[in-house]
Structure 1
Amino acid sequence: MNQGTYYWEAIHMNRNLKKSLFISMTALGFVAAVGAAKGQNVSAKSYASVTSNQKMTTDPTTRNVTLNGSNAIYNKAGTLRGARVLANTATAKTLANATVSTANFRAYRVATTNRGSVYYKVVSFDGNFRGWIYGGKSQASFGGGLADYNTFTSTTLSDTQKTSTYKITTPGTGDDSVTWISPQNTQYKVGKQVTDTTPYANATFTIDQIGYRTREGSSDVWVHILNTNNSQMGVNGWIKLSSLTAVQTPQADNAVRINFTDPNGKIVKTYDYTVANAVKGNTLGQYSQTSALWVLNDSTASSLIAGMNAALNNSGYKLGSADLTTAQKAALAAAKFGTGTVDISVVSTATNTAFSTITPYGSSTGTQAHALTGTTQGIVDAGANFPDADPNTSGFQPGYLTATTLNGFSSTQLNIILSALTNAYRDPQANGAQILSSINATFKQAAQNQYVVPSGLNFTNNNANTGTTFTADQLMGYIRSNPSLFTLQSPKYPVFTVPAGSYGGTNIQLSWETINYTATSTLNGTIGQPVNVYYNYSN
């Protein structure tokens, strides 16, 4: 090979090598670029961003909503970076199906993302759940995981309810004894009209509105009452119909009075059946010599049943059967106009659902839990021995006084009791300090064993069948969603204190206090069997 040939072959080989290297590097670069692109697609996640977030300004009562279980509640819009679940869809579904009004929600902020999704910030009426939930693609109406909800369903007053007057059966501080601005937990943060109806023990009321809390159902009847004393209208508000007792009105000369009684014999309602032109003293029916029974004619019996059904409408009770029994017909037939009264038994319209009764146990730090005794009274059921127990006689009359009696004393009577107690306290020979300490301890210890019975003591676990087991967490979830059950309250009890300068003439003073019990734990259980719930209180 000559030098020229070698030169040209070297150049040719060099060009081929460069071409090969160029193709290889290009190919490698392409692969690297593809690999980099794939790597970015795998690791990068696209998050939404908020384009608007504003407080809702429409009428709050139009923003009551319910969950439907299709979407969870987040600490921020669920598609934003850092969003975390506060209540999953299972919890949301449980709240949607809850039969207590504390599971109602209020929407109060609205946000829109760059993807066109709408999120609402909501809070449950008991405040246990608060966060953001998907609400659809438009702010024109609620969608997605929530929907409009009517927390209260209005019904129609019966003619008897329109014309009757009532008293509060057990005046006091319990949730079922006070009046509310709106029926309990039907509007967010709208509470009691008055916190103690004891001063209205003798007041009479009329009813102008009626309905039921939607979640609790038609057996949970609430009414709006008006004080017949126009100077005491501040108590006017909503209360359960079952917390009222109809005031007996004079029986008309042409009326036969019918008392509806529950299975325990308690009169739950009164109805006067009238007949035009009837004469006082005459009987509603006739005595049959053939059957030796008092009988009603068919038209009277039909008219009675229609009138009784109308009187029981929205009362929470109904007749036990569609027709009157032979004994009931006989009693009604023998009843006299103007004076005759007949008891007719009725049954509750509430659904007979399987449940476990909650048994509250109370304890304070360092003490053993003990069963609490339920009461519907606002005053502690206890009494103690006093230096003077009779303010209506001169001189000391030592004796026993109950808290209820003390609560009923006038200010003049109470001052006589306190003066005697003060004199005993000042007298070193009378062991007055020990007497005072003993009286206070007696009433307080009694209060620590009693609680005012709230609604919701029967746990159904979403209408589970008898024998179905439930967990402690499920029961505690129900308790936390029911404020009147999460925190129980003792009836109020008297506390006697020695004010500064009592030796200078100031009497011992009386105040009234209550004990709050807070639920802390419970047990697994079975529907149909009682279950213990443990409450803590502070001394």
Structure 2
Amino acid sequence: MKKSLKKTLFAGVAALSFVAVAGVSSTNASAKSYAKVTRNSNKPLRTDATTRNVAVNGTSALYTKAGTLKGAKIVATKTTLAGLKNSKQGQKNFRAYRVATTNRGSVYYKVVSFDKTYRGWIYGGKSVTAFAGGIASFNTTTAPAAAKSASASSASSASSAEQTTALTDAQKAATYKIATTGTANDGTQVTYTYPAWTEYKKGRVITDSTPYKDATFKITDQTTRTREGDLWVKIAATDSANAKANGWIKFSALKVATPAPTTTPVADNAVRINFTDASGKSIASLDYVKANAKKGDSFGSLQANSTNTGYTWKFDATTNTADLQNKIDAALQGTGYAFDVTNNANNQAVIAQAKTGDTVNVQLSKGNTVYQQLSPYAHDTTATDPKTAGDKLTATSATSTNPAVFVGITNEPITVPAATDSDANGLTAPFPVDLSGILTTTGSLDSAKLQKVYTDLLAAPTAQTDATSATYKTRVADLNAAIAKAAARSYIAPANLNVT
């Protein structure tokens, strides 16, 4: 009996001991330690906002706070975020704007979706210098794929079908109107500061395009939205009065106002030389055929210089340099520009490197101004035939700093003619007159010298004192006529005259 009681007590104590041990073990298993954010690590990101666009990948959930902190709750599960990874809507782009590091070395970023549907903290790896873990850097726009055809024959207008490739040269050169004006906020009627949903909190430039229904625009930039894959263009009004509408819009939302001029394709065996001014405006162009060439051949060749110490691009034996120079001169005639490929090795090298079937743009600047020799004549507009050349004029150099237009009569001597049957001035012989001092080089009149000329003239050969007499009046009139003729035959030789 005692033995039996002892066994029973022993078994009961053993069972109780087991329960006690089991209870302790259960308590230890449910205990959980939480991470903490290190001091001063929770702070806003200050780098350029456009470099903080990210995409979620579904490997980490989104939490109300760093996921390993006590009290963190799930905002969006891994499954939900995995579904956003390949979204075709820019609204599901995210912007990172805060960062925090835990005492376990984990980095968390606070992010928000562009449409503000999701906002919270997500694991971002172990470094604050790069996005990792549940997010990755994301380019919300990408350069459009190359145009299928860059030729001028390509469509120069926005098509009703959504174009995704880059614009052709013809499309870039055209002008456009907004096809349907209004207030729709879908990229088809109003303009934006950035392509819609490619930057956080960036919206419309205008909210109604109706006032711009007749405005025309040029395209200044282009890009593709990464998620949607559609082509957006930046437009600028051709009239500054409509510049308030400048911004980004879908290319498919435009219609052609003025097509680009049709350009003839360059022949496979020719080089198109397009001369432009410093602003890029075309001055003249010409196509020059290279004998026996095929598309992509170099117009010239790389040849050793005269001392065999280096190489330079030159025309080869198949190029008639004189003929090419003549054609360049003809193309640039009357423009005030010149381009020498005969004596200028640098100019020749530019053309020699060009490829057949392609265009080489050559920027020109005006160097020494070209002058044309002019021979001036005086015409009597009352003559029977005014087209008949009159007296050839004599040049007088303008050396004075005085701004007067006329700075002195030519030193060519003049005379008051002797009396004739029709001119009763009373002179028996021509009267010479020295006019060089009457008008000085400063443009002023020397009245004393002019008076002396009159006094001497009226005293030859006999003094004329009666100012009312016909002889007196005729002699004075003949002197005035001689002076006027001398003045009409004198002019200032033009300096720095641009002939355009």
Larger RCO (alpha carbons 8 Å, 6+ apart): 1
**TM-score, with structure 2 as normaliser:** 0.43
Structure richer in helix, relative to its length: 1
Structure richer in strand, relative to its length: 1
**TM-score, with structure 1 as normaliser:** 0.40
